[in-house]
Structure 1
Amino acid sequence: MGSYEAMEYRRFTSKSEFDKAIHTLEGILKGIALDTKINSKEIEELNHWCILHRRFLHKSPFKELIPLIEQSIADNEITIEEREDILWVCNNCKAGNQYFDVITSDIQRLQGLLHGILSDNEINQEEISGLKDWLNENEHLASTFPYDEVYSLVVSVLADGKLDEQEKKLLEVFFTEFIDTQSSYNINKLDLELKKEIKISGIAAICPEIKIKGKSFCFTGASSRSTRNKIKEQIRSLGGRFNDRVTQSTNYLIVGDLGNPAWAFSCYGRKVEKAMQLRKAGQKILIVHENDFWDQIEDLRIVDLA
Structure 2
Amino acid sequence: MTDLHKEFENSRFYHEARIDRRSADLLIGLSAGVVADGHITQQEAEFLENWISTNVAHLDDPVINLLYRRLSDMLADGVLDADESVELLAILRSFAGLSAARPGATGNAFTAPANLPLCVPAPELEWDGRLFVFTGVMAYGPRKACEALVTERGGQIGPGVSKKIHYLVIGTVGNEQWLHSTYGTKIKKAVELREAGAEISIISEDHWQRALFG
After TM superposition, the score normalised by the length of structure 1 is 0.30
After TM superposition, the score normalised by the length of structure 2 is 0.42
